[in-house]
Structure 1
Amino acid sequence: MSERERWGFELPLLLFAGFRSLIDQLHTELADHGHPEMRPAHGFAMQAIGRDGVTASELGRRLGVSKQAAGKTVDRLAALGYAERVADPADARRKLVRLTGRGRDALELSAAVFEELRGRWTDQLGRERLTELEDALETVVGPAAFRLDAASWFGD
């Protein structure tokens, strides 16, 4: 199909389908490696928690959701063993949310799986075409490309 024959609505659908394909394959691998309960929103939240931990309020800001919604996400991650609430060493009145060993393991595994998936795309498209695609997407989306608030689109 030539460029002139494509409809405008196809671009977001193709981009989303590519994203969905990667995320679905990631979660299949996570399930096969001991993380069957992981959901896309969990990964966004765990990335937002980061290495040092955050308060629930800060987590909400990073994810673009309310403090209450962030708290529910933390409750779910804690129930699954991926995060925990601990006293903030800088202020005993505050609680920090931080990743557990299981949470860090899931993120490390995710990073490895994404590398493998990128390798598969390289095999299908060729290194040059994939690099061109990535460069083009970076140009179009600009510095806002790596926002974690997309999780609010997908629910828990």
Structure 2
Amino acid sequence: MQAIGVDGTTAVELGRTLGVSKQAAGKTIETLERLRYVERARDPRDPRRKIVRLTPHGLDALALSARIFDELRAGWAATLGEDRLRALEADLRRVTPHDVFRLDVPGWFG
């Protein structure tokens, strides 16, 4: 859902961002729509295009997942220590390909 972003996206753009086919992105959108996390609408900038955007339910789910992740990270910091956790995050950034898609990740990892 982070790949959809606050301004919404199209199935083609979502597929490109996630590195999957338009069909796979479409199936994901259908599932998220059925669960009321997203809705389809006309693009206000181009009425010929359909965009997918997060619903209030989807935005709430993203906010909740961010809070949960912050709690998990705090637990990791308590176990490993903040310095070691930062080093681990730096190591993970180093082994992640630079051309991999970038989502709106929390600031702790950016």
Cα deviation digits, residues 91-136 of structure 1 (max 9, x gap): 1111000000000000011111111000000111111211121122
- Kept in 2, the 8 Å contact 1:138–1:145? The answer is no
TM-score (norm 2): 0.85
What residue ranges of structure 2 are gaps of 5+ in the alignment?
Answer: 104-110
Q: Partner of 1:100 in structure 2?
A: 55
Q: Partner of 1:7 in structure 2?
A: none
Work out the number of aligned pairs and report it: 103
- Kept in 1, the 8 Å contact 2:11–2:52? The answer is yes
Q: Partner of 1:47 in structure 2?
A: 2
Q: Partner of 2:94 in structure 1?
A: 139
Matches within 5 A, 1:144-155: 144=99, 147=102
Q: Which moved more, 1:67-76 or 1:129-138?
A: 129-138
Moved over 4 A (4+): 144-148
Q: Percent identity?
A: 60
Q: Partner of 2:14 in structure 1?
A: 59
- Kept in 2, the 8 Å contact 1:74–1:83? The answer is yes
CA distance in 2, matches of 1:96, 1:134: 34
SS of corresponding position for 1:143: coil
Residue 20 of structure 2 aligns with an amino acid whose one-letter code is V
Residue 67 of structure 1 aligns with an amino acid whose one-letter code is K
User: Max radius of gyration: which structure?
Assistant: 1
Whether 1:130 and 2:85 are equivalent positions in the alignment is: yes
Residue 84 of structure 2 aligns with an amino acid whose one-letter code is R
| Structure that is richer in strand per residue | 2
| Structure that is richer in helix per residue | 1
SS of corresponding position for 1:110: helix
What residue ranges of structure 1 are gaps of 5+ in the alignment?
Answer: 1-45, 149-156
Q: Partner of 2:30 in structure 1?
A: 75
Q: Over the residues paired in the alignment, what is the CA RMSD in angstroms?
A: 1.6
SS of corresponding position for 1:94: strand
